[in-house]
Amino acid sequence: MSARIGILSSQRGYHALALEEAVRSRDCEPVFFNITRLAGRIGDSPGVEVRGERLDGCRALLVRTIPTGSLEQIIFRMDVLHRLEKLGIPVVNSGSAIERTVDKYYTSFLLADAGIPTPRSLVTEDFETALNACNDMGDVVIKPLFGSEGKGIVRTSDEETAYRVLRAWELNRYIFYIQEYLPHFQKDIRAFVIGNEVVAAMQRNGKGWKTNYSKGAELAPVELGQRMEELALEAVRTIGLNYAGVDLMQSEDGRTYVIEINSIPGWRGLQKITDVDIPGRIVDHVLEKTNAKAQTRDK
């Protein structure tokens, strides 16, 4: 019987289907599981399932999305990832690593503590502290603590605008994540890391200060210099990821920073400009990882 590789997502979109095809081409059986249908059993026949189909029978599980939801829903989904790991199922990326990256504050202080350059930031739920930080830094980017693809991000160097944005966020009980704005020629770099290798990288040229592909940035392949490659790999090791998208930015004063790390990165744009089979490389890494684990267990 071929090995079953689970793919956990909220829908069978572009990335889930690409992973399924990559799994199938390696003579394994892809099994799609809807993350919003998870059920954990305790007592008789303990384990994790989706409408009767067990996840803990898989050789490995690839996490493709953690969709938005209530606090209870998010906590439960993460609990299930930890439960699967306790049952001996390799989860890629692990629940702990995903928790470190979905929270920008968690990511930022881990990077800073490891000596990896990251922009000055302040995180608080206190309005006055947040407003003072905006005034002190001058030109800032106000970000949601959780979020991706540039959604909900506001840049301002105006005290009145900062006041209005922060008051609106305060009413919705948001945490204020305030980061200094770095002039960057309206471009940055996404490095796609799998294991201990940067397998592909692209430069994103934004139409404005935002450089997200989802916001219309133009993409071009790029070869990383040694410094950028070392930073990308060190960032991934620091967070404890099997694969990731690492966003790097070179400011106009010549310094290089790690801006963000995505533990469930997309590759639709990157795949258009590289010959690297990205989903195939992810699956190969997972199979190598599980083979090594099996060999260690059998010794």
* Domain membership flag for residue 138: yes
> Do the Cβ atoms of 34 and 73 come closer than 8 Å?
no
The residue out of 180, 195, 212 marking a domain boundary is: 180
The residue out of 43, 77, 92 marking a domain boundary is: 92
DSSP 3-state assignment of 257? strand
> Model-level pTM?
0.90
Cα end-to-end distance, the chain, whole Å: 23
> How confident is the model at residue 298, as a pLDDT?
43
> How confident is the model at residue 18, as a pLDDT?
98
From first to last of its 299 residues, what are the pLDDT tens digits of the chain?
589 999 999 999 999 999 999 999 999 999 999 999 999 999 988 899 999 999 988 999 999 999 888 989 999 999 999 999 999 999 999 999 999 998 889 999 999 999 999 999 999 999 999 999 999 999 999 988 776 555 678 999 999 999 999 999 999 888 999 999 988 888 899 999 999 999 999 999 887 777 777 667 789 999 999 999 999 999 999 999 999 999 999 888 889 999 999 999 999 999 999 999 999 999 999 999 887 665 555 44
* Domain membership flag for residue 129: yes
DSSP 3-state assignment of 172? coil
Contacts of 45 (CB under 8 A, 6+ apart): none
* Residue 59 domain boundaries: 4-92
Considering the domain architecture, whether residues 82 and 51 belong to the same structural domain is answered as: yes
Contacts of 116 (CB under 8 A, 6+ apart): 231, 234, 235, 238, 258
Indicate if the alpha-carbon torsion angle 27, 191, 156, 131 is positive or negative.
Answer: positive
> How confident is the model at residue 40, as a pLDDT?
95
The span from the CA of 67 to the CA of 165, in Å, is: 25
> How confident is the model at residue 68, as a pLDDT?
86
The span from the CA of 151 to the CA of 203, in Å, is: 20
Considering the domain architecture, whether residues 140 and 204 belong to the same structural domain is answered as: no
The span from the CA of 66 to the CA of 74, in Å, is: 8
> How confident is the model at residue 266, as a pLDDT?
93
The residue out of 51, 74, 92 marking a domain boundary is: 92
Considering the domain architecture, whether residues 172 and 210 belong to the same structural domain is answered as: no
Strands (E), 152-291: 154-156, 176-180, 187-194, 197-205, 218-221, 243-250, 256-262
* Domain membership flag for residue 101: no
Q: Which of 220, 232, 228 lies closest to 269, judged by CA?
A: 220
> How confident is the model at residue 233, as a pLDDT?
98
* Domain membership flag for residue 26: yes
> How confident is the model at residue 214, as a pLDDT?
67
44 token code pair? 């008789």
Q: What's at 59, amino acid-wise?
A: R
* Domain membership flag for residue 68: yes
Considering the domain architecture, whether residues 8 and 88 belong to the same structural domain is answered as: yes
208 token code pair? 């404005």
Tally of structural domains, the chain:
3
**Is the peptide bond preceding residue 291 cis, with omega within 30 degrees of 0?**
no
Considering the domain architecture, whether residues 172 and 201 belong to the same structural domain is answered as: no
Indicate if the alpha-carbon torsion angle 61, 63, 69, 72 is positive or negative.
Answer: positive
Q: b/e map of 270-282 (b: 16 or more CB within 10 Å)?
A: bbeebeebbbbbb
> How confident is the model at residue 299, as a pLDDT?
47
> How confident is the model at residue 44, as a pLDDT?
84
Considering the domain architecture, whether residues 166 and 200 belong to the same structural domain is answered as: no
- Find the CATH number of the domain harbouring 44: 3.40.50.20
* Domain membership flag for residue 116: no
The β-bridge partners of 49 are: 39, 54
Considering the domain architecture, whether residues 9 and 82 belong to the same structural domain is answered as: yes
Considering the domain architecture, whether residues 200 and 169 belong to the same structural domain is answered as: no
| Phi, psi of 173, deg, nearest 5 | 60, 35
Considering the domain architecture, whether residues 13 and 34 belong to the same structural domain is answered as: yes
- Find the CATH number of the domain harbouring 170: 3.30.1490.20
